[in-house]
Amino acid sequence: MSKTRSKGLFSTGILNVEPDSLQGYYAGFASRAVAIVIDYTIIFLVGAVSIGAISVFLDLATVQRFIQWVNAILPGFERIFVWLTSARFAAIFVVLLGYAYFIFFFSTTGQTIGKAIMGLRVVTTDGKRMGVKRSFIRTLCYAVSLAPLGLGFLWVLGEDRRRAWHDKIAHTYVLYVWDARYEENFLRNAVYQLTKKREATKVGKASK
Amino acid sequence: MSDSSEVNKPVDQNTALVPAPDRPPAPIEPFNALRSTTRLLVGLALVGSDELLKRLEMLERDFDALPRDPEELAARIRTSPTGQHIPDDIRHALIGLAFELQDQVRVQTPRLLAAADQIIGDVTRPAQSVLNRIPIIGSLSKSLGLQYDTLQKRGEVRLQRWIAIGQREEARSRVLADQTFTQIVDDVIGYLADKPEVQDLIMGQTTGLAGEVLGEVRERTVSGDSFLEGIVRSVLRKAPRAELPPPSTEIRQSAVKVPERPLVASSAAKGDQL
């Protein structure tokens, strides 16, 4: 399935092996990071629109009259509506929306929108789709991965099976589900830039 | 100063309420196909000339700002059919003549007209004085002179009429041409947009383009995955990967087809490793 190259790009020490296709292989940090950025963008956009809609609804004259009417019967009732327009509610709403989003998509397809765009899927360690419980735990453990300055996410870079802490806790893998291949020009350029920098540093050190 | 008796005159209520007479509205011209077509053609000629001149000015400015490589231009001339078939000297002379002629016409025409006027005046003045002395020819000359003056006046009147029509029609012709052009473009776009074949084509191209961009982004991130990993491994002084660890066949297959949802019974039996 994979072949070893002796010369060129894959002999730079950065990559030694070029598989024909990476479909079904463990997905790496960059793909997962892009996917999660897309997901959080969607969550924040939907959250912002929803909170805006709630605020507009509560500002309607009829709703205000209704709140005052209820408040006359049940004093203190309007505090709930004041809380609904507060920043704290907005934060809680977005967090809950995020949880709902991840749990729904992980448990139904194994792919969030961001992961689907990037061609990734989360599966259990035995290759099955996650249930609601596992999806919930995996999503909850994002916080664990994030807590030590995101070290749990960065763990993907050093781990053999490219697993983050939340993957380890929830017993999941993230796989490429598309016919994943390297973009050789991009990679060649990146490797060239890196080696040039290394050589420049070496020359600088030698001259000193 | 107005007369005081006039000032103190009581205002007639009937006349005071009558508003000042407005200017009579311009009579609405009945549609005339020929006139409208002429208007459109004139408008198109004017708008087209404007656009052409604008572009020419832009091209000239671009050429001045970024002069081409003389070698490249020379090579292009050499390989062109005119460059190959017409000898250089003749070709250059003809081009030079065209430019020289244009300059000469511009500079010499007023001079030539003034000279012609002078010559005609010089020739006809003595002849006229001699001819005026002969009774029949004198009266004939006077009559001819009067006719010439009448003709000149009529010509001037006609010219003034043309100028007035031009002033009135120019703006309208331009607007008509602009609107016709915009309308035609809109209609063509509307017609194309309604055609299912065109819609399919646009959709297909858009989807194809989006797919290509997505493919590119994915490939780059896949490359980025390995690249970043390589950097981290070298920083951590770990040996580079001999190969990416292949997952088990079962897991790899799950990437191709949508993995089945774990059954409650089976997951309960396995204890759903958490």
Using one digit for the tens of pLDDT, what is the confidence trace for A150-160?
898 999 888 88
The pLDDT score that the predictor gives to residue A161 is 87
Residue of B nearest to A106 (CA): B261
Would you call B271 an interface residue with chain A, using a CB distance cutoff of 8 Å? no
Residue ranges of chain A whose pLDDT lies below 70 = 1-19, 197-198, 205, 208
Q: Please check whether residue B200 lies inside any domain of the structure.
A: yes
> Do the Cβ atoms of A14 and B216 come within 8 Å?
no
The pLDDT score that the predictor gives to residue B274 is 40
pLDDT band at B1 (very low <50, low <70, confident <90, very high): very low
pLDDT at B158 over 60: yes
Distance from CA of A75 to the nearest CA of B (A): 47
> Do the Cβ atoms of B221 and A31 come within 8 Å?
yes
Backbone phi, psi, residue B18, to 5°: -75, 125
Q: Name the DSSP class of B12.
A: P
Residue in B241, B255, B262 closest to A23 by CB: B255
d(CA B165, CA B29): 14
The pLDDT score that the predictor gives to residue B14 is 47
> Do the Cβ atoms of A134 and B272 come within 8 Å?
yes
List the domain boundaries for chain A.
Answer: 1-21+181-208, 22-180
Structure tokens at B172: 């309208």
The pLDDT score that the predictor gives to residue B263 is 43
Q: Which of residues 26-55 of A touch B (CB under 8 A)?
A: 26-31, 34
Full domain range(s) for residue B223:
195-233
- Chain B neighbors of A38, CB-CB under 8 A: none
Per the CB < 8 A criterion, the answer to whether B234 and A23 are in contact is no
Q: Which ranges of chain B would DSSP assign to H, the alpha helix? A: 4-7, 13-16, 33-65, 70-79, 81-85, 88-133, 135-194, 196-235, 249-256, 264-270
* Structural domains of chain B, count: 1
The interface predicted TM-score (ipTM) is: 0.75
The pLDDT score that the predictor gives to residue A69 is 86
> Do the Cβ atoms of A24 and B252 come within 8 Å?
yes
Using one digit for the tens of pLDDT, what is the confidence trace for B83-109?
888 888 888 899 899 888 888 888 888
- Chain A neighbors of B274, CB-CB under 8 A: 133-134, 137, 170-171
d(CA A34, CA B218): 10
H/E run at residue B187: helix B135-194
Q: Please check whether residue B173 lies inside any domain of the structure.
A: no
Q: Please check whether residue B152 lies inside any domain of the structure.
A: no
Using one digit for the tens of pLDDT, what is the confidence trace for B234-248?
888 887 777 777 888
Per the CB < 8 A criterion, the answer to whether A172 and A130 are in contact is yes
- Chain B neighbors of A17, CB-CB under 8 A: 241-244
pLDDT band at B64 (very low <50, low <70, confident <90, very high): confident
A22 by DSSP, 3-state: which?
Answer: coil
A180 by DSSP, 3-state: which?
Answer: coil
d(CA B39, CA B165): 11
Q: Please check whether residue B255 lies inside any domain of the structure.
A: no
Q: What percent of chain A has pLDDT over 90?
A: 36
Instruction: Name the CA dihedral angle for B226, B231, B235, B236, rounded to a multiple of 10 degrees.
Output: 0
pLDDT at B23 over 90: no
Residue in B229, B240, B250 closest to A157 by CB: B229
Q: Please check whether residue B187 lies inside any domain of the structure.
A: no
Sign of the CA dihedral with A192 first, then A198, A200, and A203 last: negative
Q: Please check whether residue B59 lies inside any domain of the structure.
A: no
Q: Please check whether residue B30 lies inside any domain of the structure.
A: no
